[in-house]
């Protein structure tokens, strides 16, 4: 099974082509990860086409699309989800959405893990994981409020996410997990992909209202 993966929930645009074979690890055939906080829309399609060419895969060879559904800032997240949906629709293949924080967690070792990413407005998106999966979140809070929420919880083994935020939560920050990878996105969707069942509708995890609103809505 050949899968196109897309995520724009963080300042890093991630896209890649991976092969999924039963009983084997996800084989990433090509990947692009570009840090561009304001340039998601300008480069995403180009990066996807580069990955397809590098992997030697035609668009018609793809079997499914996996997209990170956030949480993430409204505009950036919408770019990735709209592009992924357009590819899936044009090719008449399934579109699977996954929580982007789950995909970051998927790349790490098992154990008790906190994932935090930048939500702007001096807030973070976060989720907490145990050995068997997510136990809290996804949600959005200030770092101080999140520390209060987690007070009394068991200690975490690792804190993953954007480096400027992971270091706010103690001494277990692990570098190298600021954004989802192709392998993490596809691995998170693996059960759904292999089941062959029709995917659930993909719903973006904005977790709060967009920054930009029409003037009439702002007055109301």
Q: What radius of gyration, in Å, describes the C-alpha atoms of the chain?
A: 17
The verdict on residue 220 lying in a domain is: no
Q: Are 161 and 188 in a shared domain?
A: no
Distances (CA, A) of 100 to 49, 205, 207: 22, 9, 13
Residues 19 and 95 grouped into a single domain: yes
Q: How far apart are CA 86 and CA 79, in angstroms?
A: 11
- Note the pLDDT tens digit of each residue in 184-213: 999 999 999 999 899 999 999 999 765 544
What value does the mean pLDDT of the chain take?
Answer: 92
Q: What does the pLDDT look like over 60-101, one tens digit per residue?
A: 999 999 999 999 999 899 999 999 999 999 999 999 999 999
For residue 130, tell me if it sits in a domain.
yes
Do residues 111 and 82 share a domain?
Answer: no
Q: Are residues 36 and 87 in the same domain?
A: yes
The domain that holds 134 is classified in CATH as 3.30.420.200
Same domain membership, residue 136 and residue 39: no
| CATH code, 16 | 3.30.420.40
Kindly state whether residue 205 falls inside one of the protein's structural domains.
Answer: no
Is 32 within a domain? yes
Burial 15-24 (b: 16+ CB within 10 A, else e): bbbbbbeeee
Domain-embedded: residue 22: yes
93 and 108 in a common domain: no
As a whole number of angstroms, the distance between CA 81 and CA 132 comes to 27
The verdict on 25 and 118 lying in the same domain is no
Tell whether 17 is covered by a domain: yes
> Which residue range forms the structural domain that includes residue 22?
2-99+180-195
Q: Are residues 145 and 186 in the same domain?
A: no
In a domain, residue 200? The reply is: no
Is-cis flag, bond preceding 138, omega within 30?
A: yes
- Is 212 a member of any domain? no
User: Within this chain, do residues 46 and 78 fall inside the same structural domain, yes or no?
Assistant: yes
Question: Comparing C-alpha atoms, which of 25, 20, 33 is closest to residue 107?
Answer: 25
Asked if 16 and 182 touch (Cβ cutoff 8 Å), the reply is: yes
> Measured between alpha carbons, how far is 131 from 106 in angstroms, rounded to an integer?
11
Q: Determine the pLDDT at residue 210.
A: 53
pTM over 0.75: yes
| Same domain as 7, residue 53 | yes
- Do 56 and 149 have their domain in common? no
User: 18 φ, ψ to 5°?
Assistant: -130, 150
Calculate what percentage of the chain has a pLDDT beyond 70: 95
| Residue 191: CB atoms within 10 Å | 10
Residues 108 and 87 in one domain: no
Please report the pLDDT score of residue 102 as a whole number: 97
Q: How many domains does the chain have?
A: 2
Distance of alpha carbon 65 from alpha carbon 39, whole angstroms: 22
Quickly state the pLDDT bin for 152 (edges 50, 70, 90): confident
190 three-state secondary structure? helix
Measure the CA–CA gap between 187 and 189, rounded to whole angstroms: 5
Residue 125 to residues 19, 63, 97, 167, 210, Cα–Cα distance (Å): 30, 31, 17, 15, 15
The pair of structure tokens assigned to 181 is 């990878």
Distance CA 92, CA 88 (A): 6
């Amino acid at each position: 099974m050949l899968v196109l993966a897309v995520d724009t929930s963080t300042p890093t645009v991630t896209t890649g082509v991976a092969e999924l074979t039963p009983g084997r690890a996800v084989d990433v055939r090509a990947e692009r990860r570009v840090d561009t906080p304001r340039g998601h829309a300008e480069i995403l399609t180009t990066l996807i086409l580069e990955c397809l060419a590098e992997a030697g895969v035609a668009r018609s060879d793809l079997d499914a699309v996996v997209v990170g559904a956030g949480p993430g800032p409204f505009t950036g997240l919408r770019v990735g989800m709209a592009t992924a949906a357009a590819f899936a629709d044009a090719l008449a293949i399934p579109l699977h959405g996954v929580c982007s924080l789950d995909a970051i967690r998927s790349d790490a070792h098992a154990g008790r893990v906190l994932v935090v990413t930048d939500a702007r407005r001096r807030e973070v998106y976060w989720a907490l994981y145990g050995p068997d999966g997510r136990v809290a979140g996804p949600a959005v809070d200030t770092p101080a409020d999140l520390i209060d929420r987690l007070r009394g919880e068991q200690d975490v083994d690792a804190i993953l996410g954007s480096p400027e935020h992971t270091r706010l939560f103690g001494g277990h920050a692990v570098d190298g997990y600021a954004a989802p990878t192709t392998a993490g996105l596809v691995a998170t969707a693996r059960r759904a992909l292999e089941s062959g069942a029709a995917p659930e509708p993909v719903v973006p995890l904005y977790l709060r209202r967009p920054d930009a609103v029409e003037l009439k809505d702002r007055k109301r």
